[in-house]
Every structure is written in structure tokens, then in C-alpha cells.
Structure 1
């Protein structure tokens, strides 16, 4: 039983699919199949139930996977810790977020400050983020709604009001504050279920016993302001976004409800070794969003932009 066999097994067990595991491992499918067969022969028990081309992790495999993941995770942490201590490389950082657009300034600053660090970015839903953290595919997730799970810890980066963005020529554009009931019949542009904007929108409407009228939904939160500016509807946007969209023909309004807010957190597995590169990224992210929050336009200055 060698490390390569265990890594192959882990990948197959996570995906319950030989060809997908082989693609992820970047090896030929027959090689993965032979490795799994040898491992089962060595253990003396089948790890998967097979029916045609379908495989499912069985109870023996599930128990074995739990120990294999702990062992490989410890070895990966040991490798990163040893590399840090010896100064052998500059390390790597992998991050995930629902939208990567608000992170461009931070990522550019981090790369400029640490050009030797390899940075990988993923656009993921909250559900996928949980899986990525569990599988140690990412070091950090930028989450705008709680990510719960064993061993997960979060650092709060930002707590901000969420504003209502409407086209600059909208009849309500001159209003500074309004109630949700006043826009209950307006078409909303939002994200698909699972993203924080959609979760917030549905929670706010549930509180007034209504359902939102949704004219457009998608997987890219960063597209909302383009669609609003085009006159296709109105949408919820974090107040921090207004500073970046000063030239966009939008008006920004307060919703008269106390819980129209979002909290942006940096989530990681606390049982994972925090490499030097990851620690530097965390510290830079905290400082970056603290500085961004100070630049947020005061509430009294809301109105049409552009």
C-alpha cells in the first residue's frame, strides 16, 4: 500500500466515478482501475459496490476513506510546514468566492507583494465551497452567508448595508428611503437559489408575506448592475459596490428594514496547517476590506450615480 494508491482511492471515493477521478488525477482510466483493484486485493475486502459502470462507496470503503483522508491531510500539512520552515518555496494559496470580481484589487495587491506565491481562484456556490473546504481544495472561502461544518472557522471581513439599485431614470430614483412593500411589484434581477443575494431577497419578502417578482436570475452576481442599468429590473447590491460603480447610471436607495445587510467572512478549516503564504493572504484580506469599508460612501449621500 503506497501513497499513490491512497491518493487514487481518495479521488475515486470522493467522485464515485473512475473516469472523472482519472481526469482529475490526469492519468489514464485503466491505471486508476488497476490501482483500486490492487488496493482491494491487498486489504482483502471490496471498497466499492459495482453495478455495470456504476460504482458506489460501500461501508468498508467509507470507513477506510475516513482514515485515508486524515492520513493524507496530515502528510500534506507536514509537507507545507516543512517547506515553510526550510524556506524551500514561496507556497500557494487557493481561494473560492461566489463572485471573483470584488476580489480583483486584493488579488492584484497580493500578487504584487508576493510574486512567488501561486494563487488559484474558484467561483463557487456556498454548497460547493463547503465541499472544497472539506476536501482541502481551497485554503479560504469568501462567504456572504454562514458556512457551517466541522472544524470551520471564520474571520469577519465586512458588515455592510445592502442597498436597492434602480436605473437612474426609474420613477423611484429620487427617493432616499422606501419600504419593501413599495417595490413588491417591481421586477427583480437576482442570482439563482443558493447565492446570498437570492437568500436575502427571499428572506426579506417572506417577512412581509410576499414573493418577489423575478425577471432575471443567473450565476454571476457581478452582472446584476449591468442588467439594472439596462432597465431590466431592480436589484439588491452591497453598499461597498457603489464606490466602484460611480460612473454607472444607477440610483441607490435604502430599504426601510433593519436586516437588509450582509456579512462577508473569510472561512477556513481550523484543523489545517496555516502556511506562511496563507497567513499573509489572510492578513492582507482583513486589512484590505477594513480599508474598503472606510471608503464606503456615507448613508446620507445616497442618490443617483453617474
Structure 2
């Protein structure tokens, strides 16, 4: 049994006529007859009986038609969705990104729609931590990621900009009277920071080493929102990426006076994995746009 036989069977059942079915399918009537004959032989049942110039389904044929029609309809819908999926104008793109990049991601998509006109492309968002992003890429659940670079030979990436790091304090904290701070003066402060699962934790630890302080860390969190909540409650201060959305939070951002490393942000994908046209189009747009994160920060 093959797919072609099932399409032939369904068409004959609908038209109740071999000649008309052959014309619609653009095949010879003899080919159609042989195909149905082979199908009947394999199934060991008679599917059609002749009534004058027409044919009618037998009881077995009517029983089979119900399931063949359902199966072919599902297959046809799947093929239509696959066509949409790989269509560069209507395809689907899975994006994973760090929480601090949420607004940047929507900025990128807005620019993409504006410059390419591909407004029917469907985006699926996954805002999460670095380790989960890497796993999602490798497992094929994510097409592209906006993140810090990975030490993984199977992942390729391109730099799209860098983040400065800022200090945030509660507006009730004495430091809120300042606009900038020397980190070496904060040795006695309580710090809120990120869990070791987050790559930004490595970056923050590097900053502490650079300025030569051993921070007193009382809170660790996976997400920016938790860090912001603890700082807002004046339970500690925190180093965060400058792109973190502070809107509506009871915190103040202070610039850091010390010379500290910036944090590179990359767009990443799995090396040599097939990309649908829509994914490739979006990736190439981001790459051709240059340091898009730096452009975003200047807008």
C-alpha cells in the first residue's frame, strides 16, 4: 500500500467514476484500475462495484474511506503547515534570550519587519537562563539565541554588542543620593546576585576580583525580576546589566566609576544545522545590521 493508491481510492470514491477520476488526477484510466486492483489484492477485499458507468463503494470500501479521508486530510494539513513553516515570508522562528535582552529582542523584530516587510513571520519566545538556552539550542527547540558566548564547539555565534554593568540600589538606600559609585567602597554592603547557573554570575564575580573586594552575598536568584524585587525592598544592592528594565521598580541605577570588563552579547545558532528560510533570513538580517545591541542602546 502506498500514499498514491490512497489518493486514487479517495478520488474515485468521491467522483464514483474511473474516467472522471483519471482526468482529475491526470493519470490514465488503466493506471488507476491497476492501482485499485493492487490495493484490493493487498487488503483482500473488494472496494468498488460497478453500477452502469459509475462505481459505488462496497461496505468494506465505505468503512476504509472514513479512515483514509481522515488520514489524508491530516497529512494535507501537515504539508500546508510545513509549507508555511519553511516559507521565508510566513515561517516560524524560535528565539531564546536572556531576560535582560527582552526589550532588545522586540526592537530587533520591529526593525526586521520594518526593513524586510516579512510581517507574517511567526516568532516563538523563550526567555530563560544561559544554561537552558544552550540546552534548547542543542536539542533543536530554539533556532537562534541572544546570549553571552558559549564554550561549545557545536555552537556558532556573532557578536552583536556589549553590555555595561551598573549598580542598582533601593531608592531608600543612602547610595541613592549618588549618580555613580566606586565599587571598592562597598565591601560592607549586602549583595544580591545571580545563581551560578547564570553566566552573568561569572561576569559579576570577575568584576569583584577586578576591583579587589570579597562581597557579602546574602541572596542568589535566577531571574532579574527577583533581583530587582530584593533590591527594591532595600535588602541589598546588586550588579546588573544596564539593559535590565527598571521601569516601575523602587530602585536607582548608579554608574560604576571603576574600570571593569564589559559583557559581550552574541547571537548564536547550532553549527551546520539546517535553517529554514525564515530563520536564515532573520539571522542574516541581524548579522548584516552590525552591532545592533549598541544601536539599540543609542536610540
| Fold shared, TM-score > 0.5 on shorter chain | yes
Q: Which residue matches 2:69?
A: none
Of structures 1 and 2, the larger Rg is shown by 2
Q: Which residue matches 1:177?
A: 180
Deviation string 1:93-118 (CA, Å, 9 cap, x unpaired) is: 11222327435634773689645433
Query: Structure 2: 5+ residue runs without aligned partners?
Result: 1-78
Q: Which residue matches 1:26?
A: none
User: For the residues of structure 2 that align with 1:171 and 1:121, how far apart are their CA atoms?
Assistant: 39
CA separation of 1:280/1:228 partners in 2, compared to 1, >3 Å: closer, same or farther? farther
Deviation string 1:176-219 (CA, Å, 9 cap, x unpaired) is: 33322211221112221121332222222234554322232221
| Length-normalised TM-score, structure 2 | 0.59
User: For the residues of structure 2 that align with 1:85 and 1:91, how far apart are their CA atoms?
Assistant: 4
CA separation of 1:103/1:291 partners in 2, compared to 1, >3 Å: closer, same or farther? closer
Deviation string 1:53-90 (CA, Å, 9 cap, x unpaired) is: xxxxxxxxxxxxxxxxxxxxxxxxxx9xx959984982
Q: Which residue matches 1:92?
A: 92
| Length-normalised TM-score, structure 1 | 0.58
What count of residue pairs does the alignment treat as equivalent?
Answer: 212
Q: Which residue matches 2:214?
A: 211
1:133 equivalent to 2:137? Answer yes
Native 8 Å contact 1:163 1:236 kept in 2: yes
1:1-306 equivalent positions in 2, closer than 5 A: 87=87, 90-99=90-99, 101-102=102-103, 105-106=106-107, 109=110, 114=118, 116-144=120-148, 146-241=149-244, 244-245=245-246, 248-282=249-283, 285=286, 289-295=293-299
User: For the residues of structure 2 that align with 1:238 and 1:192, how far apart are their CA atoms?
Assistant: 15
Q: What CA RMSD, in Å, does the superposition of the two structures yield over aligned residues?
A: 3.4
Secondary structure at 1:141's aligned position in 2? Answer: strand
